[in-house]
């Protein structure tokens, strides 16, 4: 059910959205609503939407005819929102903006999915609508709280789904069901129309079979929502990820003493194999101290942030506690022990931990951790519901508290047939870069989609954006080249080498007189047919470009260069007057060749 395959069926005339939607409802009728679904869009309504789309000009609709599902704490007009508790239900008159954006892009909503009640849990068992299990083994949990959303994608009923992720609910179910689980930067997707868990931390998340699909959904769903106080857009340079275009990148891994698998015997080897795969893709593993990250994680449930869960449903829990899942009620009621003083003290502690963890990002581009330490059976969770739930959040609970972005990616299977996965974690707004690397890692495994037999290799890869997110491409020809005296002006700004190539043939090259250190000059001469000049193309974070340009001395300037393949990038040019007494070195084809002639 990946998006590209469905679009091929539509464009070839092999199938239609109407036929696909009818088949989905036939399947749900045969399998039953629960435990995956809580409520459906009426079949007639979904079919009518499909017919309307078929009659429209759909070339501009990136999600044309694509079926999707949403977690039942996300509002859909005319369908009750239960948040996994029937007594809490209300019927909204308008859909959450994130749902409306997806429908505007051509997607067709099928229904609302099962979840851990009030999004409190990572297990998928805390619900009166039946327990979802992993699509690979009915005895094992699906993960939560976005349990039904993950299963609906993994079993091939819909192409993608929305969950929510406060503590890992968009990532843990992805691992347990062999999916991509994107937890975007907080506020990138509007959370208006979502029943809050912890409103200051909540994210709408995306489950998909591939990173390519997740990127399409993210592109369609994102955007500033002026009515959501927590919605935001990146400032210039935010989310800059020059490393994604580089030949190498640095990824953090925990010291062996910090790795925890809670006695699982298979996952340690699978995690190490994923580290080796990333190394083969050009990554350098850097051992980091994750202790302050783990300390941050403990604040979420062992600190006053649990009071946000109480704030979200206080009137309801005071009157209807007896209708709630006992474990959920116990956790949320525990918020009463915390005071405003506790909240301030915890906030101070969080800021201290934020400062401690920020230094880690000076040595790495991203962090790679197990998505979850291990997988539990349903029986194991029922025997110890709170302790083992906390195990599942060991590597996930700190991410939103520290305002990070994350993608869970499948990385192979255990000997018992259950999937394993790791999470790629980076600073805020690096969502697209993480998805791009996640796709490369995912494709390094001979894997299939969800529980299907469809090969990942038969789906389109996610191409790197040019320039990389939050970056500008800068071509350098002389003293800024790698190993040359001014290269530090690029590396100090976190610039990364993207490629070495040549300019178009219409450039002449000169060794300038009186420059310190020695510098060349590049001049475009229309109609000239030269060898092209060797350049290095670097990716610079956008917010560092101004200071870089400010340091460029006369007679040099920054202009637009045409490369040998026709690509246009910014780069060094020189004023024509400066070459009147310069030495032309065009025939040498580059600065390094010229420097060799001076030896």
In sequence order, what DSSP letters do the residues of 207-224 get, joined into one string?
A: EESSHHHHHHHHHHH---
466-502 per-position pLDDT tens digit: 899 999 999 999 999 999 999 999 999 999 999 999 9
Q: Cβ distance 577 to 555 under 8 Å?
A: yes
Pick the CATH number of 3-458 from 3.90.1300.10, 3.40.720.10, 3.30.1360.120, 1.20.1060.10: 3.90.1300.10
Q: Cβ distance 477 to 520 under 8 Å?
A: yes
List where CATH 3.90.1300.10 sits in the chain.
3-458
> Is 169 a residue of the active site?
yes
Note the helical H segments in 475-598: 488-491, 545-550, 591-597
Residue 214 corresponds to which tokens in the numbers above? Answer: 């997740």
Catalytic choice (95, 133, 134, 145): 145
Please compute Rg for the chain using Cα positions. 27
Mean pLDDT along residues 537-541 = 97
- Reported as a pLDDT band with limits 50, 70 and 90, residue 95 is very high
- pTM (two decimals): 0.95
Contacts of 76 (CB under 8 A, 6+ apart): 41, 70, 92, 95, 96, 99, 109, 112
Phi-psi sector, 289: left (phi>0), alpha (psi -120 to 50), beta: beta
Look at the block and give the residue holding tokens 């350049």: 535
Q: Cβ distance 538 to 497 under 8 Å?
A: yes
Give me the CATH code for the 471-597 domain, please.
Answer: 3.10.490.10
Mean pLDDT along residues 369-393 = 96
14-73 per-position pLDDT tens digit: 999 999 999 999 999 999 999 999 999 999 999 999 999 998 878 899 999 999 999 999
Residue 236 corresponds to which tokens in the numbers above? Answer: 């210039």
Mean pLDDT along residues 230-235 = 93
Tell me phi and psi for residue 586, to 5 degrees: -55, -40
Mean pLDDT along residues 182-188 = 98
- Give yes or no for residue 334 having a pLDDT over 90: no
List where CATH 3.10.490.10 sits in the chain.
471-597
258-300 per-position pLDDT tens digit: 999 999 999 999 999 999 999 999 999 999 999 999 999 999 9
Question: pLDDT at position 302, please?
Answer: 84
Report the candidate in 166, 144, 225 with the shortest Cα–Cα distance to residue 190.
225
Question: What is the C-alpha end-to-end distance of the chain, expressed in Å?
Answer: 63
Mean pLDDT along residues 570-574 = 97
Residue 330 corresponds to which tokens in the numbers above? Answer: 């116990």
The DSSP letter of residue 81 is B
- Give yes or no for residue 528 having a pLDDT over 90: yes
What distance in Å separates the CA atoms of residue 366 and residue 364, rounded to the nearest whole number?
Answer: 6
- Reported as a pLDDT band with limits 50, 70 and 90, residue 370 is very high
- What SS3 class is residue 353? helix
- Reported as a pLDDT band with limits 50, 70 and 90, residue 464 is confident
Look at the block and give the residue holding tokens 């202009």: 559
315-331 per-position pLDDT tens digit: 999 999 999 999 999 99
Lowest mean pLDDT among 161-165, 415-419, 512-516: 512-516
Look at the block and give the residue holding tokens 């998006």: 3
């Amino acid at each position: 059910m990946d998006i590209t395959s469905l679009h091929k069926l539509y464009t070839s005339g092999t199938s239609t959205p109407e036929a696909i939607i009818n088949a989905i409802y036939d399947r749900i009728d045969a399998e039953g609503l629960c435990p995956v679904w809580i409520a459906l869009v009426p079949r007639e309504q979904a079919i009518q939407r499909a017919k309307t789309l078929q009659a429209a000009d759909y070339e501009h609709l990136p999600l044309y005819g694509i079926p999707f599902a949403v977690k039942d704490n996300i509002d859909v007009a005319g369908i009750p929102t239960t948040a996994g508790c029937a007594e809490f239900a209300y019927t909204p008159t308008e859909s959450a903006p994130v749902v409306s954006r997806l429908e505007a892009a051509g997607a067709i909503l099928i229904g609302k999915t099962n979840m851990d009640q009030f999004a409190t849990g990572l297990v998928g068992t805390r619900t009166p609508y039946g327990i979802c299990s992993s699509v690979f083994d009915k005895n094992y949990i699906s993960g939560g709280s976005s349990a039904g959303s993950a299963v609906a994608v993994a079993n091939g009923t819909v192409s993608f789904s929305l969950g929510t992720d406060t503590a890992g609910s968009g990532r843990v179910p992805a691992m347990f069901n062999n999916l991509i689980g994107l937890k975007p930067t907080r506020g990138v997707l509007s959370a208006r129309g979502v029943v809050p868990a912890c409103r200051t931390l909540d994210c709408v998340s995306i489950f998909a079979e591939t990173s390519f699909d997740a990127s399409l959904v993210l592109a369609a769903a994102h955007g500033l929502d002026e009515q959501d106080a927590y919605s935001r857009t990146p400032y210039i340079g935010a989310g800059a990820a020059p490393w994604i275009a580089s030949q190498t990148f640095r990824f953090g891994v925990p010291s062996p003493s910090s790795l925890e698998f809670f006695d699982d015997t298979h996952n340690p080897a699978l995690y190490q194999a994923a580290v080796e795969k990333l190394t083969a893709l050009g990554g350098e593993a850097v051992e980091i101290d994750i202790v302050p990250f783990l300390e941050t994680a403990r604040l979420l449930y062992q600190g006053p942030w649990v009071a946000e869960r109480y704030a979200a449903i206080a009137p309801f829990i005071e009157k209807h506690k007896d209708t709630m899942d006992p474990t959920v009620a116990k956790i949320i009621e525990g918020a009463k022990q915390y005071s405003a003083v506790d909240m301030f003290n915890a906030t101070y502690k969080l800021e201290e931990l934020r400062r401690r963890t920020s230094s880690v990002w000076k040595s790495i581009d991203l962090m790679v951790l197990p998505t979850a330490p291990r997988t539990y059976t349903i029986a194991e969770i029922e025997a110890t519901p709170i302790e083992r739930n906390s195990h599942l959040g060991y590597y996930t609970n700190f991410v939103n508290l520290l305002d990070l972005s994350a993608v869970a990616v499948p990385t192979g299977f255990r000997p018992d047939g259950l999937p394993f996965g790791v999470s790629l974690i980076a600073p805020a707004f690096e969502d697209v870069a993480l998805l791009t690397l996640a796709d490369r890692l995912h494709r390094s495994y001979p894997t299939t989609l969800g529980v299907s037999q469809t090969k990942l290799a038969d789906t389109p890869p996610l191409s790197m954006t040019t320039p990389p997110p939050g970056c500008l491409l800068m071509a350098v020809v002389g003293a800024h080249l790698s190993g040359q005296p001014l290269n530090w002006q690029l590396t100090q700004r976190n610039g990364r080498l993207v490629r070495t190539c040549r300019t178009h043939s219409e450039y002449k090259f000169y060794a300038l007189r009186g420059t310190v250190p020695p510098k060349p000059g590049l001049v475009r001469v229309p109609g000239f047919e030269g060898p092209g000049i060797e350049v290095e193309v670097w990716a610079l974070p956008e917010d560092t470009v101004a200071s870089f340009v400010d340091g460029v001395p006369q007679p040099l300037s920054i202009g637009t260069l045409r490369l040998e393949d026709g690509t246009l990038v910014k780069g060094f040019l020189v004023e024509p007057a400066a070459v009147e007494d310069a030495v032309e070195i065009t025939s040498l084809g580059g600065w390094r060749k010229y420097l060799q002639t001076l030896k």
